Structure 1
Amino acid sequence: MTDFADFFFAQAVASAHVQFVYDLRAGRVVFVNAAYERILHRPVALVNADLPALLAQLHPDDRAYLAHYWARWKRDEITDEVEVRLQHPGQPDQWFCLTPSYQLLADGRVLLGGSLRNISVMKRYQENADLFNSRKNATLEILSHDLSGSFILMQQIAGFLREEVVSPPLSRVPEMLGVLETTSQSSVKMIRELINLEFLTSANTDLKVNRVDLGAVLREPLDQLQRGERFLGHEFSYSLPAEPVYANVDVNKFTQVLINLVSNALKFTPDTGQVAVRIVAGPTVIRIEVADTGVGIAPDMQPYLFERFTKARRPGLRGEPTTGLGLALCKTIVEWHHGHISVESTVGEGSTFTVEIPRAEYSSSAIQAPVEALPLFE
């Protein structure tokens, strides 16, 4: 057993990540490896004296979150990793991932160990990828709506001309108008299938959840949609919480849910109508509302809206096709996030779809506690 202990101790000492052990009763770090000095740029010998200054660098939005995590960690109630940020004046935030461990010794002492990994590069890549996907999906929706509208208009004009214009004998005009009508119809179908495929592909990938400021990550696609207002043909507006509000979400999937709900609102709202998105932070949940001034949904159809291949499906006001899968996928993704989706609608007045998901876990006492009040910092 000594050989095994020596082996794992040697691994901890040589690790490229910060490895540490904290004695809960003594209130002291009793082991930390050399990576502490290399990564955090603080002397190993002063680790206990440096703790208050080091943890004072925590991002303000992460302090209550870490306090709640710490309270559960010392009761051996967690195994999940936690990600936190350290702030450095004039430099980007430094991201760390903490993997916890808990050991109850024979004498009743509790040791809290862990591995601290610098994940700053990975987080920046992830944030850039999420931002790119958000912009791409919002832009695709804008282009889809704009192009679909043009093709639907051509289809309608071709149909009107084919019925109203009297062509000379043997003329190929009716045939060509029929081709134009059919081609326009096929183009609209192809465009919507492309958007639906993008949504389906996103929904079928593994869930990658991160704790994020929901208002900040949804601002970009909402801003894109607002900039594309002249192409959408509707008045589009949105409002976000004044302060950061955190949730555990897969950014790409959740953004797709939002865009899908906005897309539905656009499809069933006449030109010059209004579509508005509102994100509201409650005590324990975050509520996302997508409201429109469209045609509304009949009461007898509302219970079936979120079923796969629902009988409530119908083409958009401009002839946009639907698979009956979109809202069912939205419901599935929302439920993956431990949330709930609902609808309120009045025929002729419009609809409001509401998504509620939990705020990132915290306790009210932790929210109010200053950093110095945490046992770790005593």
Structure 2
Amino acid sequence: MSEFAAFFLDQAEASPHVQFVYDLAARRIVFVNGAYQTVLHGSLNGVNAELPALLQRLHPDDLAYLAHYWAKWVQNEINDEVEVRLQAPGKPNQWFCLTPSYQEVDGRVLLGGTLRDVSVNKRYQENADLFNSRKNATLEILSHDLSGSFIMVQQIAEFLHEEVVAPENSRIPEMLRVLATTSRDSVKMIRELINIEFLTSANSDLKVNRVDIGAILRVPLDQLQLGQRLLGHHFTYTLPDEPIYANLDVNKFTQVLINLVGNAFKFTPDAGYVAVHIAPGPGTVLIHVIDDGVGIPLAMQPYLFERFTKARRPGLRGEATTGLGLALCKTIVEWHHGNIFVESTEGIGSTFTVEIPRSEAVAASVRPRWSNSTRKGGGV
């Protein structure tokens, strides 16, 4: 063994992550470091015998996903890291990130890899996404509630200022002007807060993870439904019956959804209806945001997704708009390799549709060769 090979072997043995080399023709693991014992609780000498049982612990939703990458890996066509879940009875799923490598040595194909336990980071990210989703949905609800109240106070103050004849030297006109100005400024401040939150999120780095889109979006949708029920509005949503996976920046994508729902409420009377339907498409996920509000003039529809669009207009309750919201939604959707489009008729309502690709749209029937392997010493 050369001094370089010995050096890299020592490095592998010192690593806290599982490092392995798999001989494709022999279908055997020919090297695994000591971390296998501490991370996966296996035996170094029994790694090939233990491999089928280990593979049986893969989350069923990850099998087709991993099969897709396996087919690319054996052809040396994979550059991405792959995240998978292992199940254990009575315990949370264990998340692993695989960094694959490929080598041909003396005509033999060797598949190497580093397997890192990222369960702690995953749970931290899930909690952060959950908090952000609830926070953003709550802010959107409060913005509509508070804005509506302040706009009403502003309108009443302006009406009284015009209609009431105040006594000479009375401070009532001045106080009504202050009340109207304060209410108008409060509405502006509330909307600016929401816009800043959206802009800050849109300008941060994209952090994409493979997630069950129904499970992820249920959180803000639940929050929006609760808030609108308290405000007396009609809001419903439907989710897919089965898990559908997509590669999402959860924080950014949920803000797109919240923005679209917020716009629907902005242009729908209090007695109107807003609904969100999430459904599978052919290799895609479709998110429909539907309202029976005032609709969008046909002449304005081509300009909706432009920055500072000339199609912008105040909401039914006087809510201001910057003309940036839908442009940012379009940008974020395109970052996810998707499309956003609208169908609308004045006086009838609007439907905004977001279409994004599923995570490596692989037929559910495709399963890894190794998923049913039971022979002793067998491998992938």
Specify the TM-score bucket, using the shorter chain as the normaliser: over 0.9
Deviates further, 163-172 or 44-53: 163-172
Distance 2:183 2:379 in 1: 67
**Which residue does the alignment assign to 2:53?**
53
Compute the displacement of 1:213 (Å): 0.2
**Which residue does the alignment assign to 2:18?**
18
**Which residue does the alignment assign to 2:269?**
270
| Secondary structure of 2:98's aligned partner | strand
Q: Which amino acid aligns with 2:342?
A: V
Compute the displacement of 1:233 (Å): 3.8
Q: What is the identity percentage for the equivalent residue pairs of Structure 1 and Structure 2?
A: 73
Q: Which amino acid aligns with 1:98?
A: L
Say if 1:59 and 1:87, in contact at 8 Å, map to a contact too: yes
Compute the displacement of 1:374 (Å): 11
Matched, 1:295 2:294: yes
**Which residue does the alignment assign to 1:76?**
76
Deviates further, 364-373 or 333-342: 364-373
Matched, 1:173 2:172: yes
Distance 1:373 1:9 in 2: 30
Summarize the alignment of residues 58-137 of structure 1 with structure 2, pairs less than 5 Å apart: 58-105=58-105, 107-137=106-136
Deviates further, 342-351 or 361-370: 361-370
Q: 1:178 to 1:285 in 2, by over 3 A?
A: same
Distance 2:358 2:245 in 1: 6
Q: Which amino acid aligns with 1:330?
A: C
- For structure 1, the 5+ residue unaligned runs are none
Q: 1:362 to 1:347 in 2, by over 3 A?
A: closer
Compute the displacement of 1:229 (Å): 1.5
| Secondary structure of 1:364's aligned partner | coil
Distance 1:33 1:369 in 2: 25
Distance 2:274 2:372 in 1: 46
Compute the displacement of 1:3 (Å): 2.2
Say if 2:21 and 2:111, in contact at 8 Å, map to a contact too: yes
Cα-to-partner distance string for 1:59-118 (whole Å, 9 max, x where unaligned): 11111111111111101111110110100100111110000000022x321100000000
| Secondary structure of 2:298's aligned partner | coil
Distance 1:174 1:373 in 2: 85
**Which residue does the alignment assign to 1:151?**
150
Compute the displacement of 1:160 (Å): 1.2
Distance 1:230 1:66 in 2: 42
**Which residue does the alignment assign to 2:335?**
336
- Count of matched residue pairs: 377
| Secondary structure of 1:260's aligned partner | helix
Say if 2:339 and 2:355, in contact at 8 Å, map to a contact too: yes
Q: Which amino acid aligns with 2:198?
A: F
Say if 1:84 and 1:97, in contact at 8 Å, map to a contact too: yes
Distance 2:285 2:146 in 1: 34
Say if 1:65 and 1:366, in contact at 8 Å, map to a contact too: no
Compute the displacement of 1:53 (Å): 0.5
Q: Which amino acid aligns with 2:240?
A: P
Distance 2:12 2:367 in 1: 36
Say if 2:158 and 2:176, in contact at 8 Å, map to a contact too: yes
**Which residue does the alignment assign to 2:346?**
347
**Which residue does the alignment assign to 2:207?**
208
Compute the displacement of 1:44 (Å): 1.2
Distance 2:328 2:72 in 1: 34
| Secondary structure of 1:45's aligned partner | helix
Say if 2:101 and 2:113, in contact at 8 Å, map to a contact too: yes
- For structure 2, the 5+ residue unaligned runs are none
* TM-score where L is the length of structure 2: 0.96
Say if 1:210 and 1:250, in contact at 8 Å, map to a contact too: yes
Q: Which amino acid aligns with 1:139?
A: T
**Which residue does the alignment assign to 1:245?**
244
